[in-house]
Homo-oligomer: A and B are copies of this chain.
């Protein structure tokens, strides 16, 4: 009997936005893995900490936070082998994933290495997308809107084309790209339609019109644009 690999979405930041299933699996888990920066606390672990057993064996996957160096395949390869030993010995392994495991998540690198050898279950979580639209108090998508989610690093030409093709747009991983993105959105005459959210659902959450957003945005920040009519503001 081998163990099961669980990829567990722990949500956008507020520990209360973990699902009941995530909470149950984490509180039962004897082996817990999570991504961690090279210095400082793991964000995923900080969300789940209150649910973890005191005697849990922890497997931090230390990956440099600089986007350019993803994917740090050596780290995932090493962690996968450690997990494989536990799984082969019949122990379940819970991997904590910020937001949702399969929405721009690094869990796929473990899944790719282990899912053919061991049972694997993905527990979906609340994404930062949902947390940001809640924070902005504005629907993400209505009726038959097309929604496009775009990573901030995309170049201006591609970014403009993708924004053109949707009623609702979310730009993720904004970080240092903010001044460039704001200039582009301004040139498209969409600034008044754009909101900025930083660290959604956490105590230090910041919500601003894009025009007022700081030039130095953290990695965990997002721009939401709504181009269509505001149907929810028009009550017949």
Contact = CB atoms under 8 A, between A and B. Distances in A.
Interface string A98-118: 001111110011011101000
Interface of A: 9, 11-12, 14-21, 23-24, 70-71, 73, 77, 100-105, 108-109, 111-113, 115, 120, 122-127, 129-131, 133-134, 137-151, 153-154, 158, 161-162, 165-166, 201, 231-236
Contacts of A131: 124
A232 to B, nearest CB: 4
Q: Chain A: interface secondary structure?
A: mixed
Contacts of A231: 108
Given A126-B126, A142-B104, A112 B21 contact: no
29 contacts: A12-B124, A16-B24, A17-B21, A17-B124, A18-B19, A19-B19, A19-B20, A70-B143, A73-B235, A100-B130, A100-B133, A102-B130, A102-B134, A102-B141, A103-B133, A108-B139, A108-B231, A108-B232, A109-B232, A112-B233, A122-B137, A124-B126, A124-B130, A127-B127, A144-B151, A146-B158, A148-B148, A148-B166, A162-B165
Given A77-B235, A108-B232, A148-B146, A20 B17 contact: yes
Nearest to A168: B149
For this chain, the copies found in one complex come to 2
* Chain B CB within 10 Å, residue with most, of A130, A131, A137, A151: A130
Nearest to A110: B232
Contacts of A19: 11, 16-20, 126
A200 B145 CA distance: 22
Pairs of residues from A and B, 7 with the lowest C-beta to C-beta distance, nearest first:
A124-B130, A108-B232, A122-B134, A16-B21, A112-B232, A147-B149, A144-B151
Contacts of A122: 133-134, 137
